[in-house]
Structure 1
Amino acid sequence: MFRPCALGAPSMKNYRVLRTLGAGACAKVKLALHLVTGTEVAIKFICKARQARLEFLAREVACMKALQHPNIIQLFEVLDTPEELLLVMEYAGGGNLLDYLLRRGRLEELEARHKFQQILAAVAHCHARGIVHRDLKPENILMDREHNLKLSDFGLSIECAGAALSTFCGSPEYAAPEIFLHRPYAGPAVDVWSLGVVLYRMVTGALPFRGSDLVELRDRVVSGHFHLPPYLSAQCRDLLGRMMVQDPQGRSSLEAIQQHPWVRPTQGLLAVHEPSPSHHDAALAEAMVSMGDQRQQSQTAVVERRFDEVMGSDLILGPGGGGRGAPRRRRRGRVSPPPRSPAHAP
């Protein structure tokens, strides 16, 4: 039986688990309350004994540490125990894009464009740091309560720095032809293909490639032929045709996609403020001090990217972290949590 570490353990002193959000073969994701700030967070409990390839886990953590963007789920803190690795992350309370599409059906192009721009901005941030996601799909795109999109699940991500990759991975419906053909591939190009499939699903409500089994699906993906419904605008059809090109050499680059006429009308949404790793807000520092942390401790943790207890509190309090920006009510250096609801029992 997979059991998360005891709530009384020192590593969990700042958190109270509320309920389980999801579970897999070697991990569970739980909603928790950060007691220092009164903010809800998601904690991924990863059982090391059940993790077949620990290097994948190390890559996931390294990639998440390198990323800080409003359209990417923010890693706050890493808690390491002999049995488990705990990743404390931003909680997006609006579900995922797949559930949204299943409820809504195909999206009007105006809404689809706005959502696609956010996904594109997140992937561009990853690629600018030499990171490819390799598992882009609606299930891995979360939504906050304002329906802003947040890229998540970096379990298959890797820092490639332009090197050719060879691992067969990702979800078959969103995988590029070169993945199915077991050829060395360029990471950014497979992300572009997957982005095309995600966009197609948003604007049509269906998948471009389907099969009764993996062999049939493979044949259809490798053929590169898919139907473009006539109700799509000419610009949207053109963009999809440029992204899902069988030959990766002829596939649009991310930079070209950002300049495409279908994407550009409100391109300003792609420009976002990204705090530098050394960014430190004086008001946040004062809030940290009022909760018992020393200003120098906080500054050092952020500059050195420690992702420890001090940096976690700083990120949660900061813009995009979901925190209130200041403690609500002080009690022995902590914020008193809201009353516990029976519906949120662990």
Structure 2
Amino acid sequence: MGMKIEGSCSAITNVISLRLGIPPGGDMFPRRHTTKHDLTPDCYKMDVEGTRVETMEDYLIGETIGEGTFSKVKLGIHKESRRKVALKFVQLDIIEATIGMEQFRREIEIHSQMNHPNIAKLYSVIDIPEQKKTCLVVEFVQGKDMLDTILDHPGGRLPEKLASSYFKQIVQAVQYLHENGITHRDLKLENICVEQDVCKLIDFGFANYYQPGFSMRTPCGSSIYAAPEVLMRTNYSGPKADVWSLGVMLYSMVCGKIPWEGNSVNEQLYSATRGEWSLIPSASVNVQNLLLGCLEVSAEGRMGILDVSEHSWVSAELVKRNFGGSFKKMMRKIVA
């Protein structure tokens, strides 16, 4: 008997997901917080690069380039520098009624501190109280997300050499997060943008701090990519759940479909909790070995991000680099 995972996703997401073998519905774990919070705190109403406080008057606002449950993203141009940016307008009343303002503040806090070539930068945060909105000014990536990159490639999947190049970059970004005490919790193809073969991780709406040995409790993210322990709503390790999501992404990149078989989301998620997936005959033994390590049902037996980065399929051409932007020492919050 399949598991019932409640939730919803947009019609656009349904159409795209169907192309990869994901039936409609059941994409997001819904959460609702009823506690009232103030809006974006004063410390976030400024350019995170340390310059003066910005306003929407500093930007030319163009066409809509994306839309989600909580937000609408428009192309923007900074009037003075002429820099193209993505303007993410977040509807605060919807945030407060769903994921909660605390999580939104955490997203801003985490994203503003990141400095990595494979993570889209957050330039500034602008409060728009009269519209009950906050605008996140984010690095604009001129390209497709990874899902469309796969689907638009001849054959509907990526050659292993290209998949390896992309996956290495994603692993570097996730390793950077984990080394700084951050777990993403919503790794998926749609959250990776590709521009001229450079991958950028975006959207930190479910990111959280973690400490080794401490468990998280709140199931969140996109269920098709979620680890069995997250689907079962048990305590889980955020970093190990991230590695499972990486495994689902890698399988999709080299195979052109998700690992789970089934005629409905519930059937597919049931297969995920049991680790029922097939090896890919066309893939190398090396990448199949990596998939086995990432898609291990037992979190204890699953690879960690260091194991993934040091795997021969990933590390063969991976040039180790030291990235700047160390995080400030702060209390690590484990929040449901």
Indicate the TM-score class for this superposition, using the shorter chain for normalisation: 0.7 to 0.9
Q: Indicate the residue corresponding to 1:193 in structure 2.
A: 244
The equivalent position to 2:152 in structure 1, one of 67, 89, 103, is: 103
Alpha-carbon offset, residue 215 of structure 1:
2.7
Take 1:26 and 1:169, find their aligned partners in 2: how far apart are those partners? 15
SS at match of 1:13: helix
1:49 matched to 2:98: no
Q: Indicate the residue corresponding to 2:221 in structure 1.
A: 170
Q: What is the identity percentage for the equivalent residue pairs of Structure 1 and Structure 2?
A: 36
**1:110–1:27 CA distance, 2 compared to 1 (3 A):** same
The equivalent position to 1:207 in structure 2, one of 242, 258, 261, is: 258
Gaps of 5+ in 2: 1-53, 329-336
Alignment: residue pair count:
267
The equivalent position to 1:158 in structure 2, one of 204, 208, 213, is: 208
**1:70–1:50 CA distance, 2 compared to 1 (3 A):** same
- Deviation by residue 1:17-67 (Cα, 9 ceiling, x = unmatched): 011111223311110001121110001111212212111211211110121
1:87 matched to 2:131: no
After superposition, residues 108-147 of structure 1 pair within 5 angstroms as 108-144=159-195, 146-147=196-197
Cα contact 2:113–2:325 (8 A) shared by 1: no
**1:25–1:109 CA distance, 2 compared to 1 (3 A):** closer
**Aligned-CA RMSD value:** 1.6
Gaps of 5+ in 1: 1-9, 279-302, 304-346
Q: Indicate the residue corresponding to 2:28 in structure 1.
A: none
Alpha-carbon offset, residue 138 of structure 1:
0.6
Task: Give TM-score scaled by structure 1 length.
Answer: 0.74
Take 2:89 and 2:274, find their aligned partners in 1: how far apart are those partners? 40
Cα contact 1:134–1:187 (8 A) shared by 2: yes
After superposition, residues 262-273 of structure 1 pair within 5 angstroms as 262-268=313-319, 271-273=320-322
1:16 matched to 2:66: no
Take 1:26 and 1:233, find their aligned partners in 2: how far apart are those partners? 40
User: Is the deviation greater in 127-136 or in 112-121?
Assistant: 127-136
Take 2:137 and 2:127, find their aligned partners in 1: how far apart are those partners? 11
Take 2:291 and 2:303, find their aligned partners in 1: how far apart are those partners? 10
Q: Indicate the residue corresponding to 1:149 in structure 2.
A: 199
Cα contact 1:173–1:210 (8 A) shared by 2: no
Cα contact 1:132–1:191 (8 A) shared by 2: yes
Task: Give TM-score scaled by structure 2 length.
Answer: 0.76
**1:255–1:277 CA distance, 2 compared to 1 (3 A):** closer
Find runs of 4+ consecutive structure 1 residues off by over 6 angstroms: none
SS at match of 1:263: helix
